[in-house]
Structure 1
Amino acid sequence: MRAHNGDRMVTHGRTVGDPDRVARVVEVLGPDGAPPYRVRDETGHETVVSPGPDTTVRRGPDDG
C-alpha cells in the first residue's frame, strides 16, 4: 500500500450494516509512501495506523 498526504483511507465495515470509516492522511511516516500513516478522521481525531487488508486508499479530492 502506498499513500500521500491528502489521500483518503477507507476502512470497510467488518459486518453487514457496519459503516465504512474514512480518514484523511495528514503525514506519511514510512519510506516512499509506505505505512505507517498519521490520519485524521471525521471527528478530528488523529492517530497513527498501519492499515490492514480491509483498507483502501483513494487519491485526490472527495468524490462529492
Structure 2
Amino acid sequence: MFAQVGDRIVVDGIHHEGDRRAGVITAVRHADGAPPYEVRWLDDGRKSLIFPGDEAEIEHSSPTGSKV
C-alpha cells in the first residue's frame, strides 16, 4: 500500500459490520509513500497515526495514482 498527502483512506470496520471510516492523509512518513500515515478523519476531524491493514483502501487524489 502506497499513498501521498491528499489521498483518501477508507477503512472498513472489522468488529461491526458496515462500519466504515474515511479520512484524508495529511502526512506520509516515508519517501516511497509506505505506511504509517497521519490521517485527519472526516467524521470528527481528529488526527491519528495509522498503519493500515487489509481492511483499508487508498483512493488516490491524482489520476497518476501513488508516487513510487
Assess same fold via TM > 0.5: yes
TM-score under structure 2 length normalisation: 0.78
Query: Number of residue pairs matched?
Result: 60
Q: Residue 22 of structure 2 corresponds to which residue in structure 1? A: 22
Per the alignment, in what secondary structure is the counterpart of residue 23 of structure 1? strand
Deviations 1:14-52 (A, max 9, x none): 343x23110100000123100000000011100000100
Instruction: Please report the RMSD computed on the Cα atoms of aligned residues, expressed in angstroms.
Output: 1.5
TM-score under structure 1 length normalisation: 0.83
Q: Residue 13 of structure 1 corresponds to which residue in structure 2? A: 13
Tell me how far apart the structure 1 counterparts of residues 10 and 58 of structure 2 sit (CA, whole Å): 6
Structure 2: gaps (5+ residues): 63-68
Question: Where do 4+ consecutive residues of structure 1 move more than 3 Å?
Answer: none
Identity of aligned residues (%): 33
